[in-house]
Amino acid sequence: MKGSRSAPMNIRKLQKTVINALEAVKAREIENFDVRHLTTMFDRVIVASADSARQAKALANHLREDLRAVGGKIHGVEGEASGEWVLIDLGDIVVHILQPAMREHYKLEELWNQPKPRAPRKAAKTAAESAAATPE
């Protein structure tokens, strides 16, 4: 469950730390999605591009160091060996660092950038219903 995996850190502070770490190592096209309306497993998805496997590994390493410095917890890292797609699980935030070809192929933005559903509107009474309900 999300609550049991959460680090004690405020999600806004965690999100800011992640984005700052990615920007520091020149990640490109950083996208941040609030996905609470899509899943209960985590609250945010951050997607960033790296120009090479070497940069993807450097981004993951720098992110790891910055999170340790502020007391953040990393629950898991996948894909760091190849550097084509590195996934970093921070509990409330999942970070994807992809090389451009992988990002274009998987189109994570299309998956996670879904609008929040609108609340259903009450159906307006039709003229006939209104007339029938009005006493004469």
- Could you tell me the residue ranges of all domains in the chain? 2-116
| H helical segments located in the chain | 2-5, 11-24, 53-69, 100-106, 108-112, 127-133
15-33: average pLDDT: 96
* Residue 127 pLDDT: 56
* Residue 6 pLDDT: 44
Does the domain spanning 2-116 belong to CATH 3.30.460.10?
Answer: yes
Q: Is the pLDDT of residue 134 over 80?
A: no
Q: What is the pTM of this model?
A: 0.79
